[in-house]
Amino acid sequence: MEGAPPTAVISTRGLTKHYGPIHALVDLDLEVRQGEIFGFLGPNGAGKSTAIRTLLGYLLPTRGGAQVLGLDIVNESVEIRRRTGYLPGGIALYDSLTGEEVLDYLVDLQGRAPLRRAELCERLELPGSVLRRKVRDYSRGMRQKIGVVQALQHDPELAILDEPTEGLDPLMQHAFYRLLDDLRNDGRTVFFSSHVLSEVERLCDRVAIVRAGRLMAVHDVDELLARRRRRVMLRWRGAAPDPTTLPGLEDVRVDGDRIIGTLSGEVSGFVRAIASPSLEDLTIEPASLEEAFLEYYASDDADEGSDDPAADQPAEATDR
């Protein structure tokens, strides 16, 4: 595949969903490429689930359209779901059945063999003794694990996961992350919504940020991480250099022999500039995606000054 342009597995054009006066999703233009893990990031009520549910045929678009796996979301929804695995947010299962019966029933309806079930159950620590228990006796985390297995057991080309790590303990979250890494390595595409920024940072190749039903930006995660500001603290032996000469350093505060500030942009130029035998200590705090996200929304707040989901003026999107 090297050199070939990546195929769009999900492609939306002006996808819009209104519930009466509420504009749940407004003019969503998005492309998810084959073989990537794509994060769909936004606060609660941003329109993430609406977008997913429209892609899978639960909701009909008010206007605009989309293709999933090259198939139209309105007219070919059944075929889309045949080739897709979906984990709904806060999944509900049949309490009167055992975990195994639920998985059998759902894969039976899927009409495909459960090629990955054994592997998934092993990696998510769902032994036979657990699978033979009634779902009503499961904890929230166990239900979520069954949800993950039912979404992926038939080895779908595309996995659409709505808040997939909800209810999983940290160990299981990491097992799940490794699972998604392996799916990507196998050429599968994963589209997942989350408001947990650390997992988006850990997993995703690209991330779309949505707010109030509008797409704010689509970024390469690496690029987003590179752009964000980092907190920097320098301590010097002897006289400190003029902080205004240090490239990328802003909001500078001198406190005795320490210089504290924020660094934006490339780190390498800054490190070259401070390289000196007088430099006694250097701390560059590992900035998280969360900070970048909050910065993003803070600046947007200033621009927009409104959080009304029904607002008519789209916020300016960047990096699209």
Partner 1 sequence: MNLRLLRQTLRWQRVRLLVVVVAAIGWGMLMPFVYSQFSGAIREMANSGAIPEEFLNIGSGSLFSLGGTVTLGLQHPIAIAMVGIFAVGASSTAIAGERARGTLEVLLARPLSRLSLYWSILAALLLAALLVLVAILAGMVVGAGLVGLGEELDVGQMPLVLLNGFGLWAAFTTFGLAASVTFDRPGPAIGITLAYLVINYFLEILGSLWTDVAWSQEYSLLHHFNPGEILAGDANPIDLVIVYVAALVPIVYAILVFPRRDLAAPA
At 226, which helix (H) or strand (E)? helix 221-227
- Near partner 1 by CB under 8 A, which window of 81-89, 180-188, 231-239, 281-289? 81-89
CB 50 within 8 A of CB 44: no
Nearest approach, Cβ of 167 to partner 1 (angstroms)? 14
CA distance 24 to 205: 26
The C-alpha R_g of the chain, in whole angstroms, comes to: 23
Binding segment for partner 1 (CB under 8 A), chosen from 74-82, 115-123, 171-179, 200-208, is 74-82
CB of 66 to partner 1, least distance (A): 16
**108 lies in the binding site for partner 1 (CB under 8 A):** yes
Quick check: 295 and 195 in contact, CB under 8 A? no
Beta-strand runs (E) in the chain? 8-19, 22-33, 37-41, 63-68, 71-72, 84-87, 158-162, 189-194, 206-211, 214-220, 230-236, 249-255, 258-263, 279-284
> Does the footprint of partner 1 cover residue 139 (CB under 8 A)?
no
- 17-56 mask for partner 1 (x: CB under 8 A)? --x-----------------------------xx--x--x
Please enumerate in sequence order all residues whose Cβ is within 8 A of that of 258, keeping only pairs 6 or more positions apart, or say none: 233, 234, 235, 236
Least separation in angstroms between residue 309's CB and partner 1 is 14
**Site for partner 1 contains 10 (CB under 8 A):** no
Contact 144, 152 (CB under 8 A): no
Residue selected from 33, 105, 220, 314 as contacting partner 1 according to rule CB under 8 A: 105
Task: Considering only the stretches 75-83, 115-123, 205-213, 276-284, report the one whose residues sit in contact with partner 1 under the rule CB under 8 A.
Answer: 75-83
State the residues that interact with partner 1 by CB under 8 A: 19, 49-50, 53, 56-60, 77-79, 81-82, 84-86, 88-94, 96, 105-106, 108-111, 147, 150-151
